Amino acid sequence: MSGLATGQMKKKIEGLDIPPVPEFLELISDSGGKLFACKATVDMFGLTKDDFTPQVDDIITVGDFYAMAAGGHIIFT
């Protein structure tokens, strides 16, 4: 089912003229955006920083994120 869902999502993304996820993450990083992985999710799935694309800056907690974003407008967490 996972493969089927991934294939369907890729078709939808192509139809919307959105770049593929790796390219999209690179665009965000290259334009100065920061990318962080959620520590709770990383721990839950037994992942490490090496499991992520090089554009991921760090693995942080929700508390770390809120502290870093203090004074900024948080769109979603």
Domain match, 4 and 19 both: yes
Q: Is the pLDDT of residue 43 over 90?
A: yes
**Would the pTM count as exceeding 0.75?**
no
The residue segments making up the domain with residue 39 are 34-77
Task: Write down the pLDDT at residue 17.
Answer: 81
Domain match, 72 and 57 both: yes
User: What tens digit of pLDDT does each residue of 61-70 get?
Assistant: 999 988 988 8
Domain match, 48 and 69 both: yes
The whole-number average pLDDT for the span 45-64 is 95
Domain match, 19 and 48 both: no
Give the number of domains in the chain: 2
Domain match, 24 and 43 both: no
SS3 readout for the chain: CHHHHHHHHHHHHHHCCCCCHHHHHHHHHHCCCCEEEEHHHHHHCCCCHHHCCCCEEEEECHHHHHHHCCCCCCCCC
